[in-house]
Chain A
């Protein structure tokens, strides 16, 4: 099967690149080995300090609502982090003390939202905090299987009964000027978070939960739908297992499901993510990129890969495949002519692109520009 560009990895980077290549008139195909890092997404795109208009447009056309301002956002563990760009679900405040009194509301039996950590974080920021649990008959069925009382299941119910939650909160609310809720709203009906904000006479702040991230799941559905409407082909649950390369040029790749039916392309993007997504793999003795065997710089001494302080900065998080300044992937010191790496697989190898969500966005747009430039030449 022939396409202009074959994209390996269907997370945020792969989808943004695919959408913009389709818009530029290319035919593309995305191969995604399972779901992606957006399922663990707090809502804030880290390390992006400038919003190119094209990014805003791309999100808007897909129906993904983002906002952009400088400030801090409240994280699931109760700490605050500097933020610029985030999904609209997540607030960005000018400073950590965004209210004087806050009511943290959780659902009875829901263990993936750390209300006491959040309360502690708020108290530290000088916000007086009260925690309350609510219990609704419509949610009792979820509790029959407590191990599966998860964000997405709650969100499915909330799309129907959010008005009851609003009533409960209005009854609980005393003199607080902020209400903190878990991000379990607006999975299908994207207007729900906004309507909740309007209906409660206090500032409503939606805060991240343990995975799956409801705003993340919704965002991936919206981006994939946009990509497919533009004519893109998305192969979910498939995996590139082999590449056919001559003279530093990739001709085709083989996948687990399509076997002998190769995916041919003029250009290839490797946006297969970091260690979790298996874009990078490690054994006790080495770290490698499994499809093309791209160059990765890392210390030989395994003890230097990680920091014994678990919560500290971990060196392995920074390892990534080497690219030239135009994102051509490098193998054996030589750049490929038509293979580009973007997103989490870069680690910190290209500091100019930032890291995490910011890098996913920046590198996706950069790689599209470069491919259009290279293929026009």
Chain B
């Protein structure tokens, strides 16, 4: 009998050798003594929870799900998955109203968009922040992402005909941020892909990837979104399209969290969902060319978002930025910015969030780049709020460096 066939465990937790390496890389453990740390919260705790759910520890909510423990683990244990799965399975009680509001990024976007100038004005006011802080425990120091009065979907819809004329086509999963807050990134992507002879289509009605719902325990709602998204992605894939993305977190969620945490089978679409940076890099590697502005100069410091570290695809953004003539490139040390999506918006996490990000902010100030490059929208908010530096997506930097053809 081959005993080893019987020793595989959920999320590889029995592979843990108790080496403690993960504890050295957990950003939360370094600042928040209430958090038991990835080893204790993950594989050690799992052994106890399997015996008796009584051992579930509510302090697991302090896990940011940044996945740095998994990236560091020499034994292939999916530590963060273990922690998030335990929260889904054992955490009782309804999520707070605040968490529901923070988690519903697309619903809030739909509501806010028609009144964007008013909403932006109101959420930017000191009094609003104080009220939200006092009533909802959303920290007053936070800057809310601005809403755009025109959605990206609307814009691309108006350009559908000209996009269809390109010989090669991709679909774009833009996510909530591009649609409601920052359509410019989507437009930049269209510009770069068009320069490569690729036209961009919308999916047949995408929904929020659900990452914030998972984090805030709106699991049923997250599953609904996941099922819907896999369906619309499959339509595109069946039509022979690759699907590109610009958000590292949405990408990780759809590719890995759907099957690992939500038990949603995405095998039909997983390999076709690619970060645009990877898609563009592969195009260029296969002989396509981009023409850049002569005399372009930009000092760029690249921050790899935690979920990009987990995906392992930061290399594509890095190599693309390095190949732009006139870019002076610095790779920032591997550190978490501290925001972790909705985590840093919560009053109880605000101080921890800023302490976690401090080494990154210090390094940005020392390097003093023209622009910080980053593939994650929430890292962008955090870095722009905590330093005086502007953050751009690598795709936007590419678009800016492209030679204008008009």
Q: Is A283 an interface residue (CB 8 A)?
A: yes
Please state if B29 and A258 are interface contacts (CB–CB under 8 Å): no
- Nearest chain A CB to B284's CB is how many angstroms away? 11
Please state if B74 and A35 are interface contacts (CB–CB under 8 Å): yes
Interface flags, B54-98, vs A, CB<8A=1, else 0: 000000000000000011111110000000000000000000000
- Nearest chain A CB to B253's CB is how many angstroms away? 16
Q: Is B21 an interface residue (CB 8 A)?
A: yes
- Nearest chain B CB to A182's CB is how many angstroms away? 15
Please state if A257 and B285 are interface contacts (CB–CB under 8 Å): no
Closest to A228 in B: B331
Given contacts A257-B311, A257-B313, contact A34 B75 (CB under 8 A): yes
- Nearest chain A CB to B144's CB is how many angstroms away? 32
Given contacts A39-B19, A260-B271, contact A148 B71 (CB under 8 A): no
List residues of chain B with CB within 8 A of the CB of A152: 23-24
Q: Is A33 an interface residue (CB 8 A)?
A: yes
Q: Is A40 an interface residue (CB 8 A)?
A: yes
Q: Which of A37-83 contact B (CB under 8 A)?
A: 39-40
CA distance A236 to B36 in the complex (A): 24
Please state if B315 and A148 are interface contacts (CB–CB under 8 Å): no
Given contacts A211-B21, A212-B24, A257-B312, contact A147 B75 (CB under 8 A): no
Interface size class of A (residues with CB under 8 A): 35 or more
Which one of B37-45, B131-139, B185-193 is at the interface?
A: B37-45
List residues of chain B with CB within 8 A of the CB of A337: none
Closest to A29 in B: B315
- Nearest chain B CB to A219's CB is how many angstroms away? 13
Please state if B40 and A145 are interface contacts (CB–CB under 8 Å): yes
Q: Is B310 an interface residue (CB 8 A)?
A: yes
List residues of chain B with CB within 8 A of the CB of A1: 281, 285, 315, 319
Q: Is A350 an interface residue (CB 8 A)?
A: no
- The 11 sampled A-B contact pairs (Cβ below 8 Å) are A34-B74, A35-B25, A145-B40, A147-B37, A147-B39, A156-B30, A238-B312, A257-B311, A278-B74, A283-B4, A284-B3
Binding site for A on B (CB under 8 A): 3-4, 17, 19-21, 23-25, 29-30, 33-37, 39-40, 44, 70-76, 271, 278, 281-282, 285, 309-313, 315, 318-319, 331, 333-334
Binding site for B on A (CB under 8 A): 1-2, 29, 33-36, 39-40, 141-142, 144-145, 147-148, 150, 152-153, 156, 210-212, 217, 221, 225, 228, 233, 235-239, 255-261, 276-278, 283-284
With A35-B21, A39-B21, A233-B318 known, 19 other A-B pairs at CB within 8 A are A1-B285, A1-B319, A34-B73, A35-B72, A35-B73, A142-B33, A148-B23, A148-B37, A211-B19, A212-B19, A212-B24, A235-B312, A236-B71, A236-B334, A237-B70, A237-B310, A237-B312, A259-B271, A284-B3
